[in-house]
Amino acid sequence: MTTNTQTALCLHCGKPAADQLVCSGCGPVAPATAEADFFAVFALPRRLTIDLADLERRFYALSRELHPDLFHDRAPAEQAASLRMTALVNRGYKTLKDPVARGLYWLDLHGEALGRDNERVPPALAARVFEVQEQLDELRAARKQGAAESETKAMTAIRAELRGDLDACDQRLARNFEHPDGTDALAETKKILSELHYVRTLLRDVDKELGAAWNG
């Protein structure tokens, strides 16, 4: 377990907070992403690789201490604090358990954000996006005509490919997480996350369309 030795300034009153969760001056800090150190919340070292089973154990243990259900008969200040801290723990868990959210949060912590100077989508990826969107249009058009069997089949194949792309991205991300320091690694993480974002969006559109097919 590492302790976070940085001094955090409270977002609201601007004074140094004893730790990153609570400001003795004005109450718990309700931080935007970069201000709350989720690694500190779960008492984890600041590393991108995380043992998910261990994270879950920590999440459950914190919930058993802090959840509002345990405080409904306590003083209002304790109820309010329980609510805010549980919200923070829940947000932290959601962020850290998902590799993509964790990666984005990591970029945030390092002052890098996706969407900044990444307007240039790799040409191959852009081509892929257009191709899938075109096929989706064809599927919709065929459906209006009533017979969309071959288009549905083609889309199911695309879906399988996209799933494969997604897995490949995840693996690259995990490998990259092993060596997260250094500018190159950060840039690479950013690149993979950007790709992942496109693949996920495409897959969602495809799932939506195929879901409609399953249900008539």
Partner 1 sequence: MERIVGIDLGTTNSLVAYLDDATPRVIADPATARVIVPSVVSFPGGEPIVGDEARALAPTTSATTIQSVKRFMGLGREHLSAADRQRYTFVEEGRGVLRFVVGERTYSPPEISALILKELKRRAEAALGGEVKKAVITVPAYFNDSQRQATKDAGRLAGLEVLRLVNEPTAAALAYGLDQKSEGTVAVYDFGGGTFDVSILKMERGIFEVKSTGGDTRLGGDDVDEAVASWLLTTAKVPAEVAERRDVQALARRAAEEAKCRLSDADATEVAMTLPDGTRLAQTLTRTACDALIAPIIARTLVPCRQALADAGLAAADVDAVVLVGGSTRIPLVRAEVRKLFGREPLCSIDPDQVVALGAGVQAGILGGRRKDMLLLDVVPLSLGIETMGGVMTRLIERNTTIPTSHTETFTTAVDNQTAVDLHVLQGEREIAKDCRSLARFAIPIEPATAGFPRVDVVFMIDANGILNVTARDVRTGRERSLDVKPSYGLTDEEVERMLEESIDFAEEDVAARLLAESRMEAATLVRQIERTLGESAAFLEAGEEDAIRAAMATLRGAAEGTDYTKIRDLAQALSDVSTPLGHRIMEASLKRALENKSAGGGSWA
The residues binding partner 1 (CB under 8 A) are 11-13, 18-19, 21-22, 24, 26-28, 30-32, 42-43, 51, 53-54, 57-58, 60-70, 72-88, 90-91, 93-94, 207, 211, 214-216
H/E run at residue 209: helix 183-214
At 206, the amino acid letter reads V
Strands (E) across 27-184 are located at 27-28
CB of 103 vs partner 1, minimal distance in Å: 17
Q: Which is nearer to partner 1, 31 or 103 (CB)?
A: 31
Q: Which is nearer to partner 1, 70 or 185 (CB)?
A: 70
φ/ψ of 117, rounded to 5, equals 30, 45
Nearest CA to 167 out of 191, 132, 205, 203 is that of 203
To the nearest whole angstrom, how small is the minimum distance from the Cβ of residue 13 to partner 1? 5
Cβ 135 to partner 1 shortest distance, Å: 21
Could you give the CA distance from residue 114 to residue 191 in angstroms, rounded to a whole number?
9
CB of 209 to partner 1, least distance (A): 14
The residue among 57 and 127 lying less far from partner 1, judged by its C-beta, is 57
CA–CA separation, 78 vs 97, rounded Å?
28
Q: Please name which of 35, 184, 187, 190 lies closest in space to residue 115, comparing C-alpha atoms.
A: 190
Query: Closest approach of Cβ 188 to partner 1, in Å?
Result: 25
